[in-house]
Amino acid sequence: MKASQKLSAVLFLFFFIGFSAESADSYQQKGFRGFMIDAPRAVETVEYYFRLIDFCQEKGFNSIIFRLTDDQGSAYLFSSHPELIMCEGAFSAKELKTIVDYAQNHGIEMIPEVESFGHSRYITQTKRYKFLNDGAAGEDFNALCPVNDSTIKLMKDLYNEVSSIFPSHYFHIGCDEVNWGAGELSKKALETKSKPQIWAEYVNKLNGLVKAAGKKTIIWGDVPLYNESEVLDLLDKEIVIMDWNYWETNKEKIQSLAQKVLSKGFKLIGCPAVSWCGWGPRVGGKQFQNINSYAEVYGNLNDSNNLGIFLSNWVPKRYLQGSQWDTYAIAAEILRKKGNYNYMDAIPEFVRNHFGVKYDAIWEKIFSAIYLETPQWNCGQEENLKFSCWCSEKEIKDIISGNRILPDGFSELPGILTSCKKEVKKNMHDFDDLLLTVEFIEYNYNRRNDLLNFFLSKKTDIKSVETYLKKVAGEDQSMLSKINTAWAVGRRTRPSATDKEFMWSFNLAAAYSKHLSENPDEFMKLLSGVNK
C-alpha cells in the first residue's frame, strides 16, 4: 500500500472512530438516565429482564434500579435470612448475578434497592421479626422499628449480602411512605426526641452500614422533601435523595425544590413516573407531562450535585408485559430530548422498528386514541377519565346513582388493530398483548355502561336478571382466561385470587359477577334498594 493510501486509511479510521465516539457521547446524558424495575410486585423472567436491559442500552439509559423487596416479599432468596418472606419465583444469588452481569456488560449500572424502613412486611410479617413491626394496625403503610438494635443488625446482614452481588457504587435503601411510631420502644423514644430526629438518626445509621459496604446511599425523598422538612437538615449530606413526584407538571416548582435541596449540599436525582397507581393496564398521554417537566428541569440543571433522572415503573402486575414498549420508548425520547417533547413524535419510529410496518394515518389514529382515551385508576386525578371494573355492591350503587354513560373512545380500536395484524412482521407477541389490552379496556367500558343501561331498562324481573347476570359472568370468565394466559408469559409469579392490583382487579370483578349469577336475588335486592 502506498504512503498516500495508508494516510487516507488512517484518516478515514480516525474520522470513523471520532464520529462514532461523538455520536455516542451526544446520546449519553450527563449523570444517571435510569429506569426502575419493581421486581417484588411481580417477579419476571431472567429472559425478560435481559430484553429490558437490551432496550435500555438501545435507548440511551445507563442505569437501572432493581427493587428487591417490598411488603409482598423479597424477589431475592436471602441465604443469610431465609426466614424472610420470599416472593414466588424469587431469584437465587446465581440467577440475580446473571442479570446484574448482563446489565454491566451492556453498559448499564444495576443499583439494588432493599426496603429498610417502610414497605417492610417482608420482614415484619414473619414469626421471627414480628416484634420489629412499628406501624399502626389497619394502615396501608408500615415500618420497621427505627430504635431497635435488632433492626440495624438485620439490615447490616441484608446489605452485605446484596452488596456482594451488585458491583454498583450506589445502594438504594428505600425509606418512602413510612408509617412508624406505634411500638412501645418508639413511643418511649418520642418522649425525649422528635419524629424528625429519630427518623434522621435511623437513616444516618443505615447510611453508615452502606458506607461500610463500600457504597453510597440513595433514599426516596418524600419524607425530607414533602412531609417533614426538618429531616433534611438532620441527614448526612452524603446521602443521595430522589425527588419522586408522579403528578407534578409545574417546572418552576420542581426546579425551586431541586435548588433548595442542592443548596443544602445534597446530591439529588429527579424521579417522575412512567406507570404508577394513577393508571391501570395502559398509561395515558397526560403522564408524559410529568416526565417532560422533570426531564426539562433535571436535564438542564447545571449543578455537579444533580445526578440525573430515573423513571419509576411500578407494579407490573397491573399490565400485560408486552403491551408497554411504546410507552417506554416515548419516555426514553423525552429524557434524551431533555423534555419539551410531543409524545406522539416517538410513535412513527416505534411502529416501524418494533412491529416492522409502515407508519400511516391508521397507526396514528390507534395510538392517538389510546393515549387520549386511556382511563385513569385509583389515585388518578382526572375524574372524567377515571373508572375501573365494578366488583362490589358499593361500585354498582355508585354507577347507578351517578347515572352517567361513559364515552367509549376505545370502541373502534379492537377492530382497527385486528385489521392491522396481518401487516406486523416483528414482535407479534407484543402486538397481541397490545391488542388484548385494548380489547380489555374496551370490554370494561361496555361492562360498566351495560350495567347502567340494564338498570335504566327497568327489566327487574327474575328471568331478565338471571339472563343479564349469566351473560356478564360468562363474558367475564372468558376475558379473565385470556388475561391470565397472556399475563403469565414472561412472569415467574402468579397473581392471587384476591389481588387488588392485578389488571384493574378484574379477577375480583369476574368472581363477583359469578357470585351474583349464582345469587340473582342478591342483585335484585340491590337494584330495589337503589330504586328507593
| pLDDT score of 531 | 64
**Per-residue cell: 459:** 327489566
For 120-145, letters b (16+ CB in 10 Å) and e give bbbbbeeeebeebbbbeeeeeebbbb
**What are the two backbone dihedrals, phi and then psi, of residue 28, each rounded to the nearest 5 degrees?**
-95, 135
Q: Quick one: how far is CA 228 from the chain centroid?
A: 25
Neighbour count for residue 236 (Cβ, 10 Å): 15
Q: By the 8 A CB rule, do 204 and 155 touch?
A: no
Q: Which residue has the cell 419522586?
A: 244
- Eight-state DSSP code of residue 344: G
Strand partners, 172: 113, 218
| pLDDT score of 139 | 85
Nearest to 286 by CA among 359, 389, 375: 375
**Measured distance CA(511)–CA(396) in Å, rounded:** 15
**Measured distance CA(467)–CA(298) in Å, rounded:** 57
Annotated domain spans of the chain? 30-244, 369-409+443-531
**What are the two backbone dihedrals, phi and then psi, of residue 498, each rounded to the nearest 5 degrees?**
-110, 15
At 124, the amino acid letter reads T
**Measured distance CA(419)–CA(364) in Å, rounded:** 14
Q: By the 8 A CB rule, do 182 and 134 touch?
A: yes
| pLDDT score of 385 | 80
Nearest to 70 by CA among 102, 20, 113, 9: 113
**Measured distance CA(289)–CA(250) in Å, rounded:** 9
Full pLDDT tens readout for the chain, 532 residues: 444 444 444 333 333 334 333 333 333 446 999 999 999 999 999 999 999 999 999 999 999 999 999 999 999 999 999 999 999 999 999 999 999 999 999 999 999 999 999 999 999 999 999 999 999 988 889 999 999 999 999 999 999 999 999 999 999 999 999 999 999 999 999 999 999 999 999 999 999 999 999 999 999 999 999 999 999 999 999 999 999 999 999 999 999 999 999 999 999 999 999 999 999 999 999 999 999 999 999 999 999 999 999 999 999 999 999 999 999 999 999 999 999 999 999 999 999 999 999 999 999 999 999 999 999 998 988 887 888 899 999 999 999 999 999 999 999 999 999 999 999 999 999 999 999 999 999 999 999 999 999 999 998 899 999 999 999 999 999 999 999 999 999 999 998 889 999 998 999 999 999 999 999 999 999 988 876 5
**Measured distance CA(102)–CA(50) in Å, rounded:** 7
**Measured distance CA(508)–CA(488) in Å, rounded:** 18
| pLDDT score of 9 | 42
Q: Give the fold, CATH level 3, of 30-244.
A: TIM Barrel (3.20.20)
